[in-house]
Amino acid sequence: MTSIPADRLRDPRSLPPRATTIGGRAAGPRRGPARAPYVFIAPFYVLYVLFMVVPILVAVYLSLCEWVGLGPPHWVGPRNYAHLLTDVSFHRALGNTGVYVLVSVLVIVPVALMMAQGLNARGLRARDLFRVAFFIPMVVSPIVVALIFSLVFDRQFGLANSVLRAVFGLGGFDWLGDPTLAKVCIGLIMLWRWAGYLTIFFLAGLQNVPRSLYEAAELDGAGRFVTFTAVTLPALKPVTGFVAVTSFISAAQIFDEPFLLTHGGPGDATLSVAMFIYRAAFERQQFGYAAAAGVVLFVLVFTISQIFNRLLGIGRAS
């Protein structure tokens, strides 16, 4: 039962384009084509170097300097990094960001998968209505999201407390004022914003699983759970990898929700690394220190996502 070959799924998709592309290229490489592809991709690389590579190099340089934003930066070597090692706020920020990442990869991604599984039920009515409605939060501006949820989570008059009081007679939770609850709220908002978006990817992936595999599983007498683990999950591996890595990267640089809703508080309970960077640079004029925190974030996110891309085989040229 577990032997339904995963490569059977990938083959029909990857073969035709490869064959035709090679054929097309071999048939007519006249004067243009040799140079043409480089011209086509050049604009991207020019912008990429100017607005990504150069800034990263500048970040590395700044991270080795002390600079308040005026006059020339003052070279201090790795001192900023040494400070980061002992800065409790930065440790908090890293820990909180770790929590956000875990929530997004271990909670939101599986929830999205379950939602897609529900939407993929055969003969489901109003599938489009559900799909579109679930996606809408992603279209809404983060400032609006923050406003809406501050209406919901307000300590005195919020909808959440009103409903809890009216239905269960429970008393006022200080949703955004309690360190743990505040983190829970940020997690819920992330779930609300992203789940429907990620569902789209899983749903498309599920619709791509050949029906014959399910029929084969049924003939073998597999129950729902076995079918799910033996057919659905292996077939979804590429999509899941992409979705998990993408949500990891988004969660690792989360800024808007904690900044707008709690300003990182109470204390540093919801502070994220991106907020830490913003605060150091633009509220405290410690540009070198902020750059160092940025470099640390970059190294962590880039390394981890490259490892996962490699392991899961995502993003290779087809």
Stretch that binds another protein, among 74-82, 83-91, 178-186, 196-204 (CB under 8 A): 196-204
**Is residue 135 at the binding interface for another protein, with CB under 8 A as the rule?**
yes
* 56 is a contact residue toward another protein (CB under 8 A): yes
Minimum gap (Å) between residue 314 Cβ and another protein = 7
Q: Which residue, 89 or 253, has its beta carbon nearer to another protein?
A: 253
Site size for another protein, by CB under 8 A? 121
Q: Which two tokens stand for residue 221?
A: 């007498």
Residue 152 binds another protein (CB under 8 A): yes
Q: Which stretch binds another protein (CB under 8 A): 82-90, 101-109, 134-142, 173-181?
A: 134-142
Query: Binding residue for another protein (CB under 8 A) from 149, 176, 213, 269?
Result: 149
In this chain, which of 9, 94, 176, 273 binds another protein, going by CB under 8 A? Answer: 273
71 lines the binding site for another protein (CB under 8 A): no
Does 134 sit near another protein (CB under 8 A)? yes
Q: Does 315 bind another protein (CB under 8 A)?
A: yes
Residue among 102 and 143 whose Cβ is closer to another protein: 143
Confirm or reject binding of residue 81 to another protein (CB under 8 A). Answer: no
Contact set for another protein, span 230-249 (CB under 8 A): 238-239, 242-243, 245-246, 249
When binding is defined by CB under 8 A, the residue of 1, 6, 47, 82 that contacts another protein is 47
119 binds another protein (CB under 8 A): yes
Q: Among residues 6, 15, 58, 82, which is the contact residue for another protein, using CB under 8 A?
A: 58
Instruction: Give me the phi and psi of 74, to 5 degrees please.
Output: -105, 120
Residue 3 C-beta: closest distance to another protein, Å: 18
